[in-house]
Amino acid sequence: MTLLIPIMTALLSAQDPLARVEQEAAKVTPALIEIRHQIHQNPELSNREEKTAALIADYLRKLGLEVQTGVAHHGVVAVLKGGLPGPVVAVRADIDALPVTEQTNLPFASKVRTTYLGQEVGVMHACGHDIHTAVQLGVASVLTAMKATVPGTVKFIFQPAEEGAPPGETGGASLMVKEGVLQNPRPQAIFGLHAFSEMAVGDIGYSEGPALSAADSWEVKITGKQAHGARPELSIDPIVTAAQFVEALQTIRSRSFSGHEPGVVTIGTIHGGQRLNIIPADVTLSGTIRTFRPEMSTLAEARLRAILKGVTEAAGATGEVVRYERGAPATINNVPLTRDTVPALERVVGKQHVIPVPPAMGSEDFSFFANEVPGFFYRLGQVKPGTTSGDHHTPTFLADDSAIPIGVKAMSVVILDYLSRHK
């Protein structure tokens, strides 16, 4: 009878993976919550995730997985080879924090401060990457415990610098892809999730097809002629010209895009002048343009350049596009993969808790992976009932610990479901 127990356990796991996943997730949840607190209390900015990466690698090695470190600076990759033959699938979590000063009442709130772009700043996991990391470590634990019945191979990708490498540096998903993270072995599909500040714990959101926009960034310099504030006739006023440029930029979305075409044009910074009674020589502006199709990004850049040229020439000033950079492309969920995966999510949390959500104008460099292999990226509810969370990237962003076990169960079942359907 003793010899039959492992065989019966293996059969049960194969027939009903959710029951086994729930059992294993319950075992590791307390440890995952502790890890989340540790990561949250000790956040590290993009391309500076040394301690976070070391914690992740140590955890994965203790599970007995093959671990690679130093990928794209501080990325960690681990491979789990299941006990049964099958395909290769990848799952990704991001690990970096933001230059935001935390304003929550969490007992494990960050007090970390550092220097970013020459300024002293607070550091905070204000986008849920600590939740993502804890969830993915939990998935690694669950699937390792079920290794004998896993039909295939799982590649765990812990990605640094999702929020963008500092100026002058490379990093993030694009660098991981360039360094071969999707090779040896190459996955057939990749999955990812993101905590969602507008969704309650227990709910999961998804978009079929377009999910998150591309993000272009730009910087413009307008040069006029300096003069005394009381003698504007002697100046070529770059501030007035910049104001006209800002107004005209909005016609990119309102007059160059179809009314059915999503798009956002935002001016994030305007810098110019030193004193209230001096018309300055120049003004610098920067911003972002969000689109879902490459041709719309190309159109937006062309219009920005044309508007800058026209406005500055009319004023007698000069305009220079200091930089126009394509950031992360749009995240487009593979439609067949999405449709095949949603039922797995529904088995975990219930059909009524798996909710279609409209595409968002936020950006995610998960898209670099999903442009290489079919990808599916979904939202994990993070708000504890009776509480509220600030928006992503704000000091009051608040993700609850109770999202972790749900995330672990959901992603574990998604992976097992995919492997089982494609073995």
Active site residues: 96, 162
Give residues with Cβ within 8 angstroms of 295, minimum separation 6: none
DSSP, residue by residue, 393-414: TSTT----TTHHHHHHHHHHHH
- Name the residue among 347, 263, 252 with its Cα closest to residue 301: 252
- Name the residue among 269, 41, 69, 218 with its Cα closest to residue 158: 69
Provide the 8-state DSSP code for 98. Answer: B
- Name the residue among 392, 371, 360, 365 with its Cα closest to residue 263: 360
C-alpha dist (Å) from residue 351 to 23, 109, 419: 21, 34, 22
- The separation between CA 19 and the C-alpha centre of its own chain, rounded to angstroms, equals 30
Beta carbons of 279 and 237 less than 8 angstroms apart: yes
Provide the 8-state DSSP code for 97. Answer: B
Provide the 8-state DSSP code for 329. Answer: P
Q: Which sign, positive or negative, has the C-alpha torsion 116, 121, 123, 128?
A: negative
Measured from the Cβ of residue 56, the count of other Cβ atoms closer than 10 Å reads 27
Beta carbons of 359 and 262 less than 8 angstroms apart: yes
